[in-house]
Every structure is written in C-alpha cells, then in structure tokens.
Amino acid sequence: MNEWEFNLLEDKNHVVTLQVAGVEVKSGDRVRLRPGRRADIFDMALAGKTAVIESIEQDYEGNFHICVVADDDPGRDIGMMRQPGHRFFFFPEEIEPLGREEPAQSSPAASAPAILIACIGNIFLGDDGFGVEVARRLSGRTWPTGVQVIDFGIRGLDLAYALMDGPGTTILVDACPRGDAPGTVYVIEPDLSLLDSAETQASLDAHSMNPLSVLRMAKSMGGELKPVLLLGCEPETSGPEEGQMGLSEPVEAAVGKAVQVLETLIPKILNGEWPAASVTT
C-alpha cells in the first residue's frame, strides 16, 4: 500500500509498539521488507531491502500498517520528516525485524560512494525500462567496496539529491535514443558545461527523467557535479499510449551487454583509468 492510498483511510490510530513474529517493534527499529504476493510494483521494488520504522498505524477496520523509510533511499531524511514519496506502508507479516547487530544498508546521504551506478527508467513505457532491468540484473552481484547500485526508476528528485551528495563518479544507466540500431549499447561522457545552454534547456522540458535534466537540476540546486558517464541503450519502442511492460527483443538482449560493460568499466575507474569518450557495442 502506498502513502496516497493509506491517507484515504479514516480514523487512523497511532500505535506505539506491535508484536511482529514474536518480536516487539516500535518507531526507529530496523526491519527487512518482504512484500506479499498482492504488493504493488513499488513495494516489490523494495523486496529484501532494509528500512527504519517511521510509525505504526491502525486503520478503521483494525488492521495494522507499518510505515517505513528505506535505508538506501537518497531522500530518507525527507521521509523521516513525514513527507510523501519516501514513506511506504507494509502489513506486519511483510516485515522481518532485524537485530541491532545487523548493519544498515548505506544510503547516499550517509556516505558518498566512489562510484554510483544510477539506473533510470519507467517500466510502463516499454524499452524505457532498460535501466530498471539492468539494476535488477546487478542486484545479485557483489561489487567492490565503494560501488553502489540504485534503481531510481522515475524518481528524478531523489537522483538529483544523490548527485549533490558527491559520488566520485556517477554512471547513469538509461534508454536514450541516438539514431543507432535498437539494442546498441554505448558509453559517453556528457559535456557538463553544456547544461546551461539554451539548446540543452529546451530539450530538457520534454522528459523530466532525462539524464541531462537531472544533472541540470542537481547543478541548479548548488551541487558540484563530479565525473559522469552515461551508459545508454538505443530503444526500439516505448509502447502504445496506454503503456507497455517488458522490453523489446533487441533491448532485452542489450541488458547483458550493459552488465558486461559495467564489469569492465568499474575496475578501470577504481584504478584511476578513464574509458574512451565514446564506446559503442
């Protein structure tokens, strides 16, 4: 259940503590999220992640709902201030209480990573979900210390805040058309000096989660942008007007190529090397 849906409930009651799996939990306790089968796409994106309980609520039917803020959410401070967009509601059976000895998943706000792999995309717009699928493939891999992978989806403001936290190098992963054959994977280093040009500003208004749009947003908020790379893929389709889930065949095949590129690129960056200004596969 998302926050908008929960706010529709009447006569919410605040609860101080609640027994979950034989453990008494309260605000400030940490949990691991285990969304059930009926969870929506946003809840499923949080599956397996750790979070902090912000509050425990009870609706007018007597059902309990646990409001959490994810540990790796760049906007977690906003969530703890009870602002929308960074608070998520789960049923008690969908959370797993954690012991105090288990470390929290680091968040960009806590410490800036050496490399931030920021995956972008809208899974409801066909090939625009390329970055999200890359994030899913990367989630089961082990990366060197200082490398952080975050699926930002369409949360442009969260990505802007993460960029302001100063990661050493940011790799943006997104579906970006350049006129190549669908499924073409490329790595380019954007010219950040062009962010304020009239031509760039005009092109940003059409797509709020365009990588350049987010970079410009972070810069306008006072962020000092460090090296940025764009790992892009040429899309084939964004689907019909009513939306489409799933990638086209060439873009689906390109996900594996993108993972291979990252596996080659990350050691070079950590070793102080820098890839060619433009690499296409």
The whole-model pTM stands at: 0.58
Whether the Cβ atoms of residue 117 and residue 262 lie closer than 8 Å to each other? yes
Domain ranges within the chain, ordered by starting residue? 3-97, 115-280
- Say how many CA atoms lie within 13 Å of 203 toward its Cβ: 11
Percent of the chain beyond pLDDT 90?
23
The CATH architecture one would assign to domain 3-97 is Roll (2.30)
The 3-state DSSP class for residue 215 equals helix
Integer Cα distance of 268 and 276 in angstroms = 11
Q: What is the pLDDT of residues 216-275, one digit of tens each?
A: 777 776 767 788 899 999 999 888 777 788 899 999 999 999 999 999 999 988 888 765
Domain pair 3-97 / 115-280, same fold: no
Q: What is the pLDDT of residues 36-46, one digit of tens each?
A: 866 676 667 78
Give the DSSP per-residue string, 4-37.
Answer: HHHTTSSS-EEESEEEETTEEEETT-EEEE---T
Q: What is the pLDDT of residues 63-108, one digit of tens each?
A: 888 888 888 776 666 666 666 667 888 999 999 998 654 444 444 4
Domain range 115-280, CATH class: alpha beta
